[in-house]
Amino acid sequence: MNALRMIIRKLADTSGSFHLYDERKIVENIISLQSNFTDIKFLYSVKCNNNKNVLKSVFGKELGADTANVREVLLSRHCGLSKEEIYYSAPGKTREDI
């Protein structure tokens, strides 16, 4: 049994639940989208998964962020995005939010 399989088996046996991400597959899917839709700037919806490692991988492939609250905006900025790369889509923003 390879090392990764052993780690996964141990997590499955000792944890109630866990998330397992395949960064290579995530990046492969992003590259496929970008290759097939060259004139589109893609945004990643931070609200669907705000894991910092996932965000760094996604933003490292030149995706912008679709954010729904100030926390997601700040997280996206912390992960290296400029304010121009962040779409703040939440309705009902306060003056402070804007």
Query: Domain ranges in the chain?
Result: 22-98
* Amino acid sitting at position 70: V
Q: What is the pLDDT of residue 1?
A: 62
**Mean predicted lDDT score pLDDT of the chain:** 91
Calpha distance 11→21 (Å, rounded):
14
| Residues shown for the chain | 98
Helices and strands in the chain: count of H runs, count of E runs: 4, 3
Q: What is the pTM of this model?
A: 0.80
Q: Which residues of the chain have pLDDT under 70?
A: 1
Start-to-end CA distance of the chain, whole Å, equals 52
